[in-house]
Amino acid sequence: MNNGNVLRVDRHATIGQKELLNEYVNNNKPVIITDSAKQWPAVGKWTPEFFKKNYPKVSREVRGEVITLADQIDRVLASTPERPAPYPYNLEVEDYFPDLMKDLEPQLLFGKMDRGASPLMPKILLHGTPIHEVFFGGNGSSFPFVHYDALFLHTQITQIYGDKDFVLYHPNDSQYLYPRSDNEKFSQVTNVFEPDLVKFPLFAKATPYFETLRQGETIFFPCGWWHTTLTHAPSITYGRVVLNSLNYDRYLDDKYKRWMGTGQSKLKANAAYAVGKVVGGVMSTMEAFR
């Protein structure tokens, strides 16, 4: 990276709930927790060979090509920077591997309540929003653009197998990241390691945070943080979106815009939004006593 002022993300082996919320979540700061997920059954069990053996026919489409998981694993193992495996190749765990959800416990909590997992949360408010995803990448696989996550969701990412490089930018650097006119959550800068500073001169003012996430480690970054990734070897990554009191209203507002933009009935969209506001109020009341 050509910017000499690279920052680092704070690391903790474990961290108490109060410190996690007060120092990081509530202060809009990312954090890496190195040991909490190492006790998950997934770490050590979820390998490329495990998925190829047990779920070979699972498939998804990547840039117009339908690829089975067995084929993706072969490509991941043979991946090189010159011929990287297709990426992102991600699958919703609850849809494709529901029996494996137990391998991701105990879950980390980044709020007084995990609103997305609450039984109070109406399914309609989460419809179409992936909650638990697993990503399969190989040497040279990288996310194709710098972005921040849709619907203003916070993000928890845990490396289940292998390592992965992360580059993050604070939301205050948005002015230097050239948001696309058709989608302000995507940057026009496609390669942060070798950026075109003639085309994007302001990008030189953006300050990156750079970290390598090792197997068993978890990174949390709040909504609005720009990020991208790069993999140097076979990698399996678990990603979970986080909904708490800080981003709930922004999530609901963005969800409403999506409903209206996709031709949903205005009456149904307004009703769902109203239900979401009521449920949010109930959750806030419950959290006040925790």
What are the sequence ranges of the domains in the chain? 11-246
CA distances from 270 to 6, 71, 129, 188, 247 (A): 44, 44, 19, 33, 20
State the Rg of the chain over Cα: 19
**5 in helix, strand or coil?**
coil
One pLDDT digit (tens) per residue for the chain, 290 residues? 555 689 999 999 999 999 999 999 999 999 999 999 999 999 999 999 999 999 999 999 999 999 999 999 999 999 999 999 999 999 999 999 999 999 999 999 999 999 999 999 998 899 888 999 999 999 999 987 899 988 999 999 999 999 999 999 999 999 999 999 999 999 999 889 889 999 999 999 999 999 999 999 999 999 999 999 999 999 999 999 999 999 999 999 999 998 888 777 888 899 999 999 999 999 999 999 98
pLDDT, tens digit (0-9, with 9 covering 90-100), for 39-77: 999 999 999 999 999 999 999 999 999 999 999 999 999
CB 12 within 8 A of CB 199: no
Spacing of C-alpha 259 from chain mean position = 22
The pTM assigned to this predicted structure is: 0.93
Q: What are phi and psi of 44, to 5 degrees?
A: 105, -25
Residue 55 has which token pair? 């779920």
Q: Which CATH class is domain 11-246?
A: mainly beta
Residue 64 has which token pair? 């117009």
The vertex-111 CA angle with 218 and 130, nearest 5°, equals 65
CA distances from 147 to 104, 150, 167 (A): 26, 9, 11
In which residue are the tokens 């919703």 written?
Answer: 92
Strand intervals (E) in 125-202: 132-137, 154-161, 164-169
Residue 127 has what DSSP assignment? T
DSSP 213-231: EPTT-EEEE-TT-EEEEE-
